[in-house]
Amino acid sequence: MTNNKISIEKADKKILNKVFWRTLTLSVNYNYERMQAFGFVFTMIPAINKYYSKKEDRIEAYQRHFELFNTTPSTGGFITGLTTSMEKEASKDQDFDKNSINAIKVSLMGPLAGIGDSIFWGSLRVISLGVGISLAAKGSLLGLFVHLLLFNVPAHLVRYYGTMFGFGLGSSFIKKATENGLIDSITKGATTVGLMTVGAMTCTLVNFNIEKSFMISGQELNIQEILDGIFPNVLPILLTFICYKAVTKNVKPITIMLAMMVISIIAKMVGII
């Protein structure tokens, strides 16, 4: 790395391209014992086979990456790039502490999962779905493609450049980022943005209004107007919270969706909503 610019040799770039495409299979064979470990091993095969010439060294590297691993696939590209850089260093230096490879992976997978989940699953997916559903609700097939593009293009760009960036920076970045608190700051910031986005999307996309009104002393009493005067959008927020609690109680999403559908139909038939 010179002049603060990341430089990657042509041979390494070729390996990293193979590693990148294999990151698309990171969650394949996901299980609750090792989670994404099998996908990570498969991702690292091109790099391990390139940098280690001895069969026993390759087997040792495969086994090293069978340890539990779990992170957001899009931001996980940085980890695979960094791990590739460390494996290359380990193959050249017999005194290299190979235990540090898994130590770095473990230390990064949590913070990057927090950042990735907040940005991609908590924010970007909600936004892209909101735009896509809005178009689909108007009968436009464009909604499907807009959702896929809005979500997948940024996700894959971050995955690709994260892989290259992680390899170029090397392990020295982790020590500096940990010491100055950069990782913690990024995690907190991304979490805050994710929560704000979810709150905003709840108010704008969840449509739940009470249409029922009553006549009292000759005057119409509109329940929805009273609720909005006390707490605007309180019903969409309560509905979202109920669904969230159901998910935390291990209720299947399809069950929640069917329940909402049945309740909505009944409520509409009796004139409540």
Query: Is residue 62 located within the same domain as residue 165?
Result: yes
Contacts of 31 (CB under 8 A, 6+ apart): 38
Whether 5 is in a domain gets the answer no
Whether 4 is in a domain gets the answer no
Single out the residue of 101, 108, 78 nearest to residue 16, CA to CA.
Answer: 78
Residue 271 pLDDT? 79
Query: Is residue 30 located within the same domain as residue 163?
Result: yes
The token duo for 229 is: 């005067």
What single string gives the DSSP state of each residue in the chain? -BTTB----HHHHHHHHHHHHHGGGTTTT-BTTTBTHHHHHHHHHHHHHHH--SHHHHHHHHHHTTS-B---HHHHHHHHHHHHHHHHHHHH-TTS-THHHHHHHHHHHHHHHHHHIIIIIIIIHHHHHHHHHHHHHTT-THHHHHHHHHHHHHHHHHHHHHHHHHHHH-THHHHHHHHTTHHHHHHHHHHHHHHHHHHHHHHHH-------EEEETTEEEEHHHHHHHHSTTHHHHHHHHHHHHHHHTT--HHHHHHHHHHHHHHHHHTT--
Distance CA 107, CA 144 (A): 37
Facing residues of 240 across strands?
A: none
Query: Is residue 102 located within the same domain as residue 47?
Result: yes
Query: Is residue 95 located within the same domain as residue 214?
Result: no
The token duo for 116 is: 């990735």
Dihedral pair phi/psi, residue 269, rounded to 5°:
-65, -35
Distance CA 203, CA 165 (A): 37
Looking at 4-8, 154-158, 214-218, which range is the least confident one? 4-8
Of the candidates 160, 178, 202, which is a domain's last residue? 202
Query: Is residue 60 located within the same domain as residue 146?
Result: yes
Query: Is residue 161 located within the same domain as residue 100?
Result: yes
Query: Is residue 98 located within the same domain as residue 76?
Result: yes
Distance CA 167, CA 256 (A): 43
Where does residue 217 fall: left (phi above 0), alpha (psi -120 to 50 degrees), or beta otherwise? Answer: left
Whether 3 is in a domain gets the answer no
Of the candidates 202, 221, 240, which is a domain's last residue? 202
Residue 2 pLDDT? 43
pLDDT in tens, 58-93: 999 999 999 889 999 999 999 999 999 889 888 888
Query: Is residue 76 located within the same domain as residue 186?
Result: yes
Percent of the chain clearing pLDDT 70 (strictly above): 90
Whether 197 is in a domain gets the answer yes
pLDDT in tens, 20-64: 999 999 998 888 778 899 999 999 999 999 999 999 999 999 999
Query: Is residue 231 located within the same domain as residue 142?
Result: no
Single out the residue of 88, 4, 2 nearest to residue 50, CA to CA.
Answer: 88
Of the candidates 159, 182, 202, which is a domain's last residue? 202
CA terminus-to-terminus distance, the chain: 62
Query: Is residue 146 located within the same domain as residue 181?
Result: yes
Residue 1 pLDDT? 42
Q: Is the pLDDT of residue 3 over 60?
A: no
Between 51 and 4, where is the model more confident? 51
pLDDT in tens, 174-210: 557 657 776 567 667 766 766 777 777 777 778 888 8
Between 237 and 201, where is the model more confident? 237
Whether 171 is in a domain gets the answer yes
pLDDT in tens, 153-181: 999 999 999 999 999 887 566 557 657 77
User: Domain span at residue 223?
Assistant: 206-269
Residue 262 pLDDT? 92
Whether 1 is in a domain gets the answer no
Query: Is residue 176 located within the same domain as residue 53?
Result: yes
Whether 235 is in a domain gets the answer yes
Residue 175 pLDDT? 59
Range 208-247 burial, b when 16+ CB lie within 10 A, else e: bebeeeeeeeeeeeeeeeeeeeeeebebbbebbeebeebe
Query: Is residue 222 located within the same domain as residue 110?
Result: no
Contacts of 67 (CB under 8 A, 6+ apart): 34, 37, 102, 105, 106
Our count of domains for the chain comes to 2
Whether 224 is in a domain gets the answer yes
